[in-house]
Structure 1
Amino acid sequence: MNDTDQLDLAALLCSRLCHDLLSPVGAMTNGLELLADERDPEMRQRCLELLEQSAKASADKLKFFRLAFGAAGGFGESVPVDEARSVVEALVAGAKRVELNWALAEPRMPKGAVKVLLNFAQMGLDALVRGGTLDVGAESRGGASEIVVRAVGPRIAFDETIGRALEGSLPAGELSSRTAAAHMLSLVARQAGGGLQYMLSADALVLGAVLPEG
């Protein structure tokens, strides 16, 4: 990527962050306005509960963006699996009718692998528009991190433009805030000397990655 492409990608990722935070932050603003005018104790308690929910949703999204897109500098070259797991569990908790199955063999994973795993989990969750099962698995084998995320449900919604971005075949000029994360993952995989792939059917989406370590 040249400098212009890098700036465009950064701008698109920022747009994605702002879009995802707009709803919970807006809900907090509305809640504060209602709380300022409300005098009924029961309604004030309800406003406080909504504020608490919106604050948690905002914090969960920021934790996701920190690990999925940011440097996460406090963790060194690897990230504790428990950190990634808590982020995924928070994402799933905010969804409807989705069951999470978790299978990670390692206590820590390289930062690049964590970025891929978290973004795969988000893509799988987004695909389960009518609920279903989200399976998240990863292990270190033969000097490489192997990651698989599978979303299975009665209806799978996945834009194959995102798949093209994952595979690195989407031109930079066609990127959008919707495909920027997938394009970033393709760059992470390329830098590591690995690869990404996906398989899509009517009731399942499977996302896979092999990322050499070191």
Structure 2
Amino acid sequence: MTSPDIVSESIEFASLLCSRLCHDLLSPVGALNNGLELMADETDPEMRQRCLELLGDSARTSANKLKFFRLAFGSAGGFGDAVPTHEARVAIEGMFAQSGRVKLGWLVEDDLLGKLPVKILLNLALIAGDALVRGGQLDVGAERRDGLTEIVVRAEGPKVVLDPELRAALAGTLPPAGLSSRTAAAWMVRALVVSAGGEIVLSAPGDPALLFGAAMPG
């Protein structure tokens, strides 16, 4: 029988993760709503065209975020054990590279990776990409070797900022009171990797580039 405490904790964590996803989707969806309201009152052809362009941008942003979240947090990829790596690349490009602020370096040669490594790769890329507050270079690599899947994510730019609580969540030193919608994804990454018998390494605070590494069986 499942412990009520475990169920309660699982529900609480799911609520925090949902709060994070809703927060990230609020801006583009709100822009869609605002654009539709402007269109309803606008009669000038040029302004209507501009509204349509803004609506298109907001719709693409919303769709890109949903595609990314489906892979990073959902059960995308069907019932198989592996996910095509080009789907992960497209998802990361949609989140970061299309804006022009972040350049993506893709260093994954395998056509398929396990669902768990793909989730880890995407979530580490999300954390590293968000740390590039002024844009920069985001390099993502993964390979399977000797029964292990190794993942490396590197972020470098004019200003790289990793929240100390996110670092603590990835390192496994975050106190229970520090778990929030902001740290839920990082905490999940750590929990998934450790439960699979793997480990996570991080570059030291103050290093010019932010580096994440993860290795796990599979």
RMSD of equivalent CA atoms: 1.5
Q: Answer with 88-97 or 201-210: which moved more.
A: 88-97
Report the secondary structure of 2:18's partner residue. Answer: helix
- Change over 3 Å in CA distance of 1:29–1:48 after alignment to 2: same
Partner of 1:14: 18
2 CA distance for matches of 1:5 and 1:197? 26
Partner of 1:111: 115
- Change over 3 Å in CA distance of 1:89–1:153 after alignment to 2: same
After TM superposition, give the deviation of residue 96 of structure 1 in Å: 4.7
Q: Answer with 196-205 or 120-129: which moved more.
A: 196-205
Is 1:209 matched with 2:211? no
2 CA distance for matches of 1:30 and 1:161? 34
After TM superposition, give the deviation of residue 126 of structure 1 in Å: 1.0
Alignment of 1:112-151 (within 5 A): 112-151=116-155
CA contact (8 A) 2:200 2:214 kept: yes
1 CA distance for matches of 2:199 and 2:52? 46
**Structure 2 unmatched runs, 5+:** none
Counterpart AA for 2:48: R
Within the candidate set 173, 178, 182, 2:177 is matched to: 173
CA contact (8 A) 2:165 2:178 kept: no
Deviations 1:128-157 (A, max 9, x none): 112221111000011111000000122211
- Identical counterparts, % of pairs: 56
Partner of 1:158: 162
After TM superposition, give the deviation of residue 79 of structure 1 in Å: 0.6
- Change over 3 Å in CA distance of 1:134–1:75 after alignment to 2: farther
Counterpart AA for 1:28: L
Partner of 2:41: 37
Deviations 1:35-82 (A, max 9, x none): 111111111111111111101100000111111111115252111001
CA contact (8 A) 1:198 1:208 kept: yes
Partner of 1:196: 200
Report the secondary structure of 1:2's partner residue. Answer: helix
After TM superposition, give the deviation of residue 201 of structure 1 in Å: 2.7
- TM-score normalised per structure 2: 0.93
- Change over 3 Å in CA distance of 1:95–1:196 after alignment to 2: farther
Deviations 1:109-137 (A, max 9, x none): 11111111111111111111122211110
CA contact (8 A) 2:32 2:55 kept: yes
1 CA distance for matches of 2:101 and 2:36? 30
